[in-house]
Structures are given as C-alpha cells and as structure tokens.
C-alpha cells in the first residue's frame, strides 16, 4: 500500500472539490443504464458514487426513491419514513429529490427540525422508538450519506422497520426495481416539485437531536462522566453530529469542548488521508492528525465520521487507538459494568476483526458471534438483545442499553465515543492504558490491512473461492488450522477467504466499490511475523486466483464448445 507524500498534511487548495460544478453534474448528467458503472448498485452501505462519474445523480435518487415506495407498499409498511442527511455536498440535493418522490407517493416523511443534519444513529433510534410496542403502521427510514467517503461522493441508504441496514434481499429488490426505472427513463416515477412537497400534508418535522440526546442516559452512565469532571475534546469532522455535541454537554454537565465547529462541503479543514484523498475517517492516523496533535490538551478526545456512525478515540497515553484496540477494551469493560445485561448476551464481531476480541470474549465467558463484513448481520441480535455488543474493525459499533434492551441497530459513533469517557472516569485510566493491561494478559497482536489491485474477473474469482483452492498447508511457519469461506457465527459467505494458523491469520476479500481487494492480517508473534504472513498471504491469494482463473477459462471453453456443437446441430436440422 503506497502512502501518499501528502498523507497527514493539510489539504491543498487544488484538492478541494468544486461544489457548484458537482451539484450541477448531479442535476445535468443523466446515467446510461447500458453502462454498468452508471446503474444503481447497493453495496454493504447503500448506493454510493460521484455525480462527476454519473454514478450518483438525480435520476439515481428518483429511481431508488420510487423503488422504496413500491417496496413499502409490497411489505405494507405504512408508518412514517424518517429522512435524514449528512454534510456532503450531494446530500442536500439528494434529499430534495427523494422528498419530491416520497411526497408524490403519499408517504409521511419526517424531516429534521430546522433542516438540520441527522446522524445515522439518531435516525435508527427514531425508527426504533417509534416502532416500540407497535405491530402495524411501522416506520422505516432513509439516510443520505456516503459515510466517510471523499467530498465528491454521495450515498443513499435504506433502513427497514428494524432500524438497521437493509438485508441483501431487500437492497437487491430495490436495486432491481430502481434500474428498471432507469431503463424506462423514469416514466413510472411519481414526482412533484420540492416546493409543493415541503408544503404537503404528509411532510412533517421531527426533533431528532432532543429525542436522541435525552435518551443517552439510558445507554451511557453520564453521571459518572460528570462526577469525574474529566476534560473532553471532540471533533465532529464537519459531520452530521456538528450540532449535537454542545447540547449533549450542556444537558449532562460535561466538561466538553468542540474543537472544530466548521461545516464546509469541501472539508478543507481535514488532513489528507493515506492515499492522498480527503476522507473523514476517524480511525485513520493520517486524517486525524489535527486531533492527535491536541491529545495533551484534554484527558480524552474523540471524533466521528460524516454521518457519525464511526468513532475514533484519542488518548494521552497512546494517541489514536486503532479500532481493534478500542473494541477489545470496550467489550472487556461493558460486560463487567452492565449488570442488567442478559447472561447469555453474546459479542458480535466481523471475520476481519482482531482475535484479541476472541480472547477477551473467552475470558468473559461469553459466546462469540462472528459474521461477514457488514453491520446488517448484527441487526437481529442487537434488536432482540441476544447481542450485547457488535463491532467492526472499521470503527463501527453499537451496544444495548443499560437494561439490555435495544439502543440502535445501526452503527453509532457517538455512544462508543462517550463510552470511552465513562470508562476513563470510572477506571481512572484511559482506554489506551486499559488496552496495555489486556496485552499483558492476552498477548500483543500486530494487525494490518493492505489493498491490492484486482480486475473485475479476479474479484469474481476471489468472491467464489473454496477452501479446496488453498493448496498450502502452512502459514508463516505454522500449520494452517482452518480455511474459512463462510462465517462461523451464521454460516453466511464471507465474500472471500480467511486462513487461520495458531498465532496468526489473514483474510482477503474483494472491494464492492473499487477494482481492488483488501487483505487483513494479524500476528500474536509481532510485526516481523505479521510481515511474513502478509507476504505469504499474497502468494496464497495469487495462486488461488490463478487456479480460479484457469478453472473459469476451462469452463468458458467448455461452454463455448457446447454452444458451437449446439449451433452446428441446429444448422444441420435447418
């Protein structure tokens, strides 16, 4: 992975997105449905893309919104639809486009008071709060955000009545219907002007901020934080929670300072990420340079990404904690300081998260629920309380309330950030110090994630790998114990492969949005062993891709041969 020379430095003016040009492209560029890259495509976090690439334009949003209206009708979802947006430049135009369609279809829409921004967890919380105790007239929602993606991107996510990310069968249905609307040049899409939609009797206002913030005391011990009077710094990274932090501090009497109050769709205040792009990633040591530089000003500081569903925690003792470190500490703390949680409540993690979590979970006497990448796999468990905590290595997490009932079923960046303050206040040590204690007991893992280019054909091969295609028997000097292509927790395909030895492992999976694949690896024997794992993992994957490509070519040749024979028989009969 090549690190850009700009990484960690302030963004240069030449890098800033031209917002007027971007918004103009949103309205003027029309997608060509015959071009795959210009069709609607739901990945693990909704439909994403840039208007410059004709991948996120008005036609996409109109088509998706109409498809969601049809899905609601089919599923008899007839309660309100909670609609929120983040601070990306394309989010406000997309919200207007969606509202035009939703209002024309008679959907009761709940917009934020004062046209404010809405964090993803606040919208999930709103859906769940509304639906509590109901069996009919259920609510659902749409979050308009590309998460921490660069400023030129837009994103559009659908959350069904369970409040979390939609399942693949749901997004697949919506995606297919939306593309049919594109194919038909939007002929069946209902629409009214945004001015008329805003005045419609079906358009309402909802106080997301107060509904969410007043409920925080049911998931975080705010009294303990207030009593310790620890100094807290927060950088919203110009995101959807920008107006949430000061009211939260005022309501609960926290000694909290918002270090950056700017909302700027160019995100010019960000430090450049590893690849030379502006990206609002609170887990990136490059993007988080400014807050890291302030670490000694506060007892603890934290940040959230643009839709506030991811967190980053900066401690005096260790600086920015890698996500796996903080997830491990959070799990170890929560399951010992939440006496009302169910004794059977499990720990949820993705297959590419650290095995430190496995060791902590075993120590706690809890069950590990290991699933593919994607927070949608945790929704049911968080909803019914069978999961106490769920987290991803990409710094997304949520957990249940103090009484063990559901809080949010989508990722929540705000609550893990506040949890870091709770544990610091209660334990007298920050999460960096607490993680060091874990390493003394469980070992100190070295972890890395790298990316490598891959053609669409190679990505397809990697996606369909079987354990039998991994021919090696050793990994970095240790016998390979397990090769996984399905997750242990729910037997769902992981979309790649995971190879596990005694003290290390690696996983490889194709990206859903770029022509790359991602390699994750970890060693409990130190950085040198990790580098050896990564080197051998590259060879393993290259060999598997070669075998897969050979197999694919063989099948293609056989298919062509049979087709040729069939064509010959048809010609003779004619």
3-state secondary structure (DSSP) of residue 406: coil
Q: What's the pLDDT at 542?
A: 86
Residue with tokens 């309380």: 385
Helices and strands (H, E) in the chain, number of each type: 17, 23
Q: What is the pLDDT of residue 540?
A: 85
Q: What is the pLDDT along the chain (574 residues), one digit of tens a residue?
A: 689 999 999 999 999 999 999 999 999 999 999 999 999 999 877 999 999 999 999 999 999 999 999 999 999 999 999 999 999 999 999 999 999 999 999 999 999 999 999 999 999 999 999 999 999 999 999 999 999 999 999 999 999 999 999 999 999 999 999 999 999 999 999 999 999 999 999 999 999 999 999 999 999 999 999 999 999 999 999 999 999 999 999 999 999 999 999 999 999 999 999 999 999 999 999 999 999 999 999 999 999 999 999 999 999 999 999 999 999 999 999 999 999 999 999 999 999 999 999 999 999 999 999 999 999 999 999 999 999 999 999 999 999 999 999 999 999 999 999 999 999 999 999 999 999 999 999 999 999 998 888 888 888 888 888 888 888 899 999 999 999 999 999 999 999 999 999 999 999 999 876 678 899 999 999 999 999 999 999 998 888 778 765 555 544 444 454 344 434 433 333 3
In order of 29, 469, 473, 485, the CA distances from 544 in angstroms are: 40, 6, 14, 13
pTM for the structure as a whole: 0.93
DSSP run (H or E) holding 172: helix 168-183
Structural contact between residues 118 and 102, judged by C-beta atoms closer than 8 angstroms: no
Rounded to 5 degrees, what are φ and ψ at 478? -125, 145
pLDDT of residue 211: 98
Burial class (CB in 10 A: 0-12, 13-18, 19+), 226: middle
Question: Would you call 559 exposed, middle or buried from its count of C-beta atoms within 10 A (0-12, 13-18, 19+)?
Answer: exposed
Q: Which residues are catalytic?
A: 147
Q: Which of 337, 217, 332 is nearest to 347 (CA)?
A: 332
How confident is the model at residue 202, as a pLDDT? Answer: 98
Per-residue pLDDT, 175: 97
Distance CA 6, CA 1 (A): 14
Task: Give the residue from 271, 263, 420, 457 showing the smallest Cα distance to 332.
Answer: 420
Q: Tell me the two tokens of residue 253.
A: 């009497």
| Tokens read off for 72 | 């609601």
Distance CA 288, CA 44 (A): 24
Q: Determine contact, residues 430/305, Cβ cutoff 8 Å.
A: no
- Biggest CA–CA distance in the chain, Å, is 90
Strand locations in 109-240 (E): 109-112, 140-144, 153-159, 203-206, 232-235
Q: What is the pLDDT of residue 465?
A: 85
User: How much is the pLDDT for 553?
Assistant: 55
Nearest Cα neighbor of 348 from 329, 369, 376, 372 is 369
The Cα–Cα gap between 336 and 331 comes to 9
Please name the residue ranges forming H helices in 403-455.
414-427, 431-442
Looking at residue 559, its pLDDT comes to: 44
């Amino acid at each position: 992975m090549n690190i850009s020379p700009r990484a960690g430095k302030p963004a240069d003016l030449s890098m800033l997105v031209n917002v007027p040009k971007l918004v103009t492209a949103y309205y003027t560029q029309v997608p060509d449905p015959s071009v795959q890259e210009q069709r609607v495509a739901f990945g693990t976090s909704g439909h994403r893309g840039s208007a410059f690439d004709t991948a996120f334009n008005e036609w996409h949003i109109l088509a998706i919104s109409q498809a969601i209206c049809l899905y609601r009708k089919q599923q008899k979802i007839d309660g309100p639809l909670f609609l929120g947006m983040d601070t990306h430049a394309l989010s406000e135009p997309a919200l207007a486009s969606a509202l035009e369609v939703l209002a024309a279809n008679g959907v009761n829409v709940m917009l934020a008071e004062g046209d404010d921004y809405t964090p993803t967890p606040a919208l999930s919380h709103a859906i769940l709060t509304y639906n509590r105790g109901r069996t009919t007239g259920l609510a659902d929602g749409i979050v308009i955000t590309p998460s921490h993606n660069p400023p030129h991107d837009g994103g559009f996510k659908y959350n069904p009545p369970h409040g979390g990310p939609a399942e693949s069968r749901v997004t697949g249905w919506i995606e297919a219907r939306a593309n049919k609307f594109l194919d038909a040049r939007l002929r069946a899409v209902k629409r009214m002007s945004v001015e008329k939609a805003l005045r419609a009797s079906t358009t309402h206002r909802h106080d997301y901020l107060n509904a969410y913030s007043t409920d925080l005391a049911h998931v975080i011990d705010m009294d303990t934080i207030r009593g310790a009077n620890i100094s807290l710094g927060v950088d919203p990274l110009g995101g959807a929670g920008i107006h949430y932090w000061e009211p939260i501090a005022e309501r609960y009497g926290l000694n909290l300072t918002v270090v950056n109050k700017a909302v700027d769709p160019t995100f010019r205040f960000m430090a450049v990420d590893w690849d030379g792009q502006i990206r609002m990633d609170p887990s990136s040591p490059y993007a988080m340079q400014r807050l890291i530089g302030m670490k000694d000003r506060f007892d603890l500081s934290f940040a959230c990404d643009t839709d506030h569903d991811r967190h980053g925690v900066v401690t005096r003792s260790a600086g920015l904690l890698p996500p796996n470190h903080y997830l491990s500490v959070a799990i170890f703390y929560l399951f010992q300081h939440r006496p009302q949680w169910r004794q059977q409540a499990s720990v949820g993690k993705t297959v590419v998260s650290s095995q430190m979590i496995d060791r902590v979970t075993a120590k706690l006497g809890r069950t590990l629920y290991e699933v593919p990448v994607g927070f949608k796999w945790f929704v049911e468990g968080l909803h019914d309380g069978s999961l106490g905590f769920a987290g991803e290595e990409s710094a997304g997490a949520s957990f249940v309330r103090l009484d063990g009932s559901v809080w949010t079923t989508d990722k929540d960046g705000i609550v893990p950030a506040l949890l870091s303050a709770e544990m610091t206040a209660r334990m007298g040590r920050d999460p960096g110090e607490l993680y060091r204690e874990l390493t003394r007991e469980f070992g100190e893992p070295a972890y890395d994630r790298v990316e490598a280019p891959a053609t669409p054909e190679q990505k397809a091969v990697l996606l369909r790998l079987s354990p039998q295609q991994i021919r090696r028997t050793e990994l970095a000097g240790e016998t390979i114990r397990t090769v996984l292509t399905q997750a242990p927790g729910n037997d769902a395909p992981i979309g790649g492969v995971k190879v596990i030895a005694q003290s290390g492992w690696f996983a490889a999976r194709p990206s859903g949005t770029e022509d790359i694949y991602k390699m994750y690896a970890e060693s409990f024997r130190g950085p040198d062993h990790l580098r050896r794992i990564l080197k051998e993992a590259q060879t393993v994957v290259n060999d598997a891709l070669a075998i897969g490509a050979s197999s694919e070519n063989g099948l293609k040749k056989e298919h062509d041969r049979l087709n040729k024979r069939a064509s010959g028989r048809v010609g003779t009969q004619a």
